Amino acid sequence: MKILCILYDDPTNGMPKNYPLSELPKIEKYPDGMTLPSPKNKDFKPGELLGCVSGELGLRRFLEDAGHSLVVTSDKDGADCEADRELVDADIVISQPFFPYYLTRERIKSAPRLKMAITAGIGSDHVDLDAAIEHKIDVVEVTYCNSRSVAEHIVMMILSLVRDYHHQHYIVNSGGWNIADAVSRSYDVEGMHIGTVAAGRIGLDTLRKLKPFDVHLHYFDRHRLSPDIEKELNLTFHNTVESMLKVCDVITINCPLHPETENLFDDKMIAKMKNGAYIVNTARGKICNKDAIANALESGKLAGYAGDVWFPQPAPNDHIWRHMPNHGMTPHTSGTSLSAQARYAAGVREILECFFEGQPIRDEYLIVQDGALAGMGAHSYSKGSTTSGSEEAARFQK
Ligand code: NAD
């Protein structure tokens, strides 16, 4: 079989010769008891860079020894890109949300042999799920592999926005010492009301991680958490996003991108928020309207916005979020720490082993199977496509 793998570019100065840590901490299980990815074998050292082209997710030896062919590229956007040329006879395509190969309806139509799209990470909105359902292409992801990595990033971003870390760091780097400047937008999070849109794996872990800061915790989700968890974290559940926005100083967005959540935070929704609230969005860029966010930062309606997700990705060089005031954006990195890469590379290998051996793929990994939403897809997504406009990614200039 032919496996096409789209990964982000190597480091500018080549692959690292060594890494800050010689080994990763051992993690036995995820908090709900789910086991970590468990392939029969691994051909990589956890802690090394695996998500870029030369890292190859540690898959080459495994695939070639079994007689398959592996094509790895980062050339994924624009007319006649390498990924499009290789897709036409590919059986499996692997892509990462950080550097997504948007599997649009046109691309799916161009690939008659395609059987499975694997997301090396979590979030399969870069695949036109409607088209995948119609063409009976299974869509799978490595559920939980980086949920806790993202939750750490969210806590970091909430603290850095509210305390205004970026500005203070900038003052030091530029040789200054004006403390009044440095603190004129700086607050404590203690006592604030913080709410999450969705309390799945990331949302719930974020709530747990925030609890020790002595904040008031709120959530909205289509699935209500158990009374035990609500009690443990002293959570306030809201039936609507609007009811939560009205009372929260900080909102963190943790739902998948699907037709119900696309453009959820537009001008109208932001107008319902408290004045001077903060948003941290590490879910997907398209959940927030890009101009509405930039305008709300300009006017002061929002005191800050941070996150690591954009639309499209890579974000064009002139994307307004690169230049708006009081933002704390990173490129899409929260789920691709070296720690997370080891888990999702192992998860992709587990999925491939199951596929080649005709064994069932874990239910938790399924988004679409046999022409229908399945597993986590049925729990967390709605049918439809959110890939329109993705061709804009070709405007990014290295
Ligand atoms: P999850 O499936 O455990 O949780 C998703 C939650 O969203 C579920 O509880 C579901 O009920 C809820 N939900 C879905 N639609 C909703 C709606 N319309 N309104 C309210 N709640 C809704 O997934 P997770 O591991 O928590 O990941 C969530 C999302 O975060 C992913 O789909 C992905 O888009 C994003 N993510 C980003 C990164 C990153 O690197 N920035 C990494 C992993 C995941």
Tell me the one-letter amino acid at 291: D
H helix runs in the chain, sequence order: 60-65, 82-87, 105-109, 129-134, 147-163, 165-173, 179-183, 201-210, 227-233, 241-245, 267-271, 290-299, 338-357, 375-380
Residue 296 CB–ligand 1 contact under 6 Å: no
Q: Which long-range contacts (CB under 8 A, 24 or more apart) does 41-46 make?
A: 41/349, 42/345, 42/346, 42/349, 44/342, 44/345, 46/342
Q: Is the backbone peptide bond immediately before 314 cis, with ω within 30 degrees of 0? A: yes
Q: What whole-number distance in Å separates Cα of residue 79 and Cα of residue 97?
A: 21
Q: Using CA positions, which residue lies closest to atom 21 of ligand 1?
A: 221
Is position 135 annotated as part of the catalytic site? no
Q: What whole-number distance in Å separates Cα of residue 176 and Cα of residue 373?
A: 55
Q: What whole-number distance in Å separates Cα of residue 222 and Cα of residue 225?
A: 10
Task: Kindly report the backbone phi and psi dihedral angles of residue 327, in degrees, each rounded to the nearest multiple of 5, phi listed first.
Answer: -110, 155
Q: Using CA positions, which residue lies closest to atom 42 of ligand 1?
A: 335
Query: Which of 151, 141, 94, 100 lies closest to 121 in space, CA to CA?
Result: 141
Q: Is the backbone peptide bond immediately before 11 cis, with ω within 30 degrees of 0? A: no
Residue 147 CB–ligand 1 contact under 6 Å: yes
Mutation test residue for ligand 1: of 98, 154, 156, 202, the one with most atoms within 8 Å of CB: 202
Residue 257 CB–ligand 1 contact under 6 Å: yes
Instruction: Per-residue pLDDT tens, the chain, 398 aa: give them.
Output: 999 999 999 999 999 999 999 999 999 899 999 999 999 999 999 999 999 999 999 999 999 999 999 999 999 999 999 999 999 999 999 999 999 999 999 999 999 999 999 999 999 999 999 999 999 999 999 999 999 999 999 999 999 999 999 999 999 999 999 999 999 999 999 999 999 999 999 999 999 999 999 999 999 999 999 999 999 999 999 999 999 999 999 999 999 999 999 999 999 999 999 999 999 999 999 999 999 999 999 999 999 999 999 999 999 999 999 999 999 999 999 999 999 999 999 999 999 999 999 999 999 999 999 999 999 999 999 989 999 999 999 999 99
Q: Domain map of the chain by residue range?
A: 2-145+336-395, 147-322
Residue 151 CB–ligand 1 contact under 6 Å: no
Cα–Cα separations (whole angstroms), residue 295 to 38, 68, 244, 281, 291: 46, 50, 22, 16, 6
The catalytically annotated residue of 126, 218, 284, 362 is 284
Sheet-wide strand order for 138-141 = 69-73, 2-6, 92-95, 116-119, 138-141, 366-369, 372-373
Q: What whole-number distance in Å separates Cα of residue 39 and Cα of residue 237?
A: 38
Whether 2-145+336-395 shares its CATH topology with 147-322 is answered yes
Rg (alpha carbons) of the chain, rounded to whole number: 21
Query: Which of 145, 140, 135, 142 lies closest to 113 in space, CA to CA?
Result: 135
- What single-letter DSSP state applies at residue 19? -
Q: Which two tokens stand for residue 71?
A: 């094509």
Query: Which residues, 6 or more positions from 384, have their beta carbon under 8 angstroms from its beta carbon?
Result: 129, 130, 258, 259
The catalytically annotated residue of 153, 201, 258, 332 is 332
Evaluate the CA torsion angle 82, 84, 87, 93 in order and state its sign: positive
Is position 332 annotated as part of the catalytic site? yes
**What's the CATH code, domain 147-322?**
3.40.50.720
Residue 323 CB–ligand 1 contact under 6 Å: no
Q: Which two tokens stand for residue 372?
A: 């229908």
Is position 313 annotated as part of the catalytic site? yes
* Beta-ladder partners of 197: 220, 253
Is position 224 annotated as part of the catalytic site? no
The listed CATH number (3.30.360.10, 3.40.50.720, 1.10.3720.10, 3.40.640.10) that belongs to domain 2-145+336-395:
3.40.50.720
Residue 283 CB–ligand 1 contact under 6 Å: yes
- What single-letter DSSP state applies at residue 397? -
- For the chain, the maximum distance between any two Cα atoms, rounded to a whole number of angstroms, is 65
Q: Using CA positions, which residue lies closest to atom 14 of ligand 1?
A: 380
C-alpha 123 – ligand 1 centre gap (Å) = 7
Q: What is the pLDDT of residues 86-139, one digit of tens each?
A: 999 999 999 999 999 999 999 999 999 999 999 999 999 999 999 999 999 999
The catalytically annotated residue of 96, 146, 326, 369 is 146
CB 253 within 8 A of CB 281: yes
Q: What whole-number distance in Å separates Cα of residue 258 and Cα of residue 260?
A: 6
- What single-letter DSSP state applies at residue 36? P
Residue 334 CB–ligand 1 contact under 6 Å: yes
